[in-house]
């Protein structure tokens, strides 16, 4: 049975409220992982300018096999590509950087702040 407009709006508001309250954090992280794995697969499977592939997909025939091969090394793989971005599309780079940011938050580490200009300290 189709939902009424009011039911759709109520469901939408409930999802927004859950996301804002943090209740949907696990779901959002799972979605981020899925997007990052798809981005890595897309990047490594795409032809590079020299005619070869950008990287080795470790003999994986499809995305499911590649996902299984990434078990335990997703963060390291994302970290290796996150800040260079050579050959990555904008959405791929965003998905990969998101995983690095999540991992840093879980490790309670933050990158050092970048100063706009060098500061000379005087004693």
**What pLDDT, in 10s, does the model give residues 5-23?**
999 999 999 888 877 777 7
Q: Which string of b and e fits 106-118 if b means at least 16 CB within 10 Å? A: eeeeeeeeeeeee
Buried b (16+ CB within 10 A) or exposed e, 37-56: bbbbbbbbeeeeeeeeebbe
DSSP secondary structure string for all residues of 21-59:
HTTTHHHHHHHHHHHHHHHHHHHHHSBPTTSSBSS--TT
Supply the pLDDT for residue 10: 92
- Mean pLDDT score, 64-88: 87
Confidence at residue 95, expressed as pLDDT on a 0 to 100 scale: 94
Q: Where are the domains of the chain?
A: 25-106
């Amino acid at each position: 049975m189709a939902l009424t407009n009011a039911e759709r709006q109520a469901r939408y508001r409930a999802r927004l409220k859950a996301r804002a309250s943090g209740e949907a954090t696990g779901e959002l992280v799972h979605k981020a992982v899925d997007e990052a794995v798809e981005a890595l697969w897309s990047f490594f499977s795409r032809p590079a300018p020299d005619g070869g592939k950008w990287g080795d997909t470790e003999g994986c025939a499809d995305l499911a096999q590649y996902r299984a091969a990434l078990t335990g090394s997703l963060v390291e793989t994302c970290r290796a590509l996150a800040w260079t971005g050579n050959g990555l599309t904008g959405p791929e780079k965003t998905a990969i950087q998101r995983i690095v940011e999540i991992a840093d938050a879980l490790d309670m580490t933050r990158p050092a702040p970048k100063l706009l200009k060098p500061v000379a300290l005087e004693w």
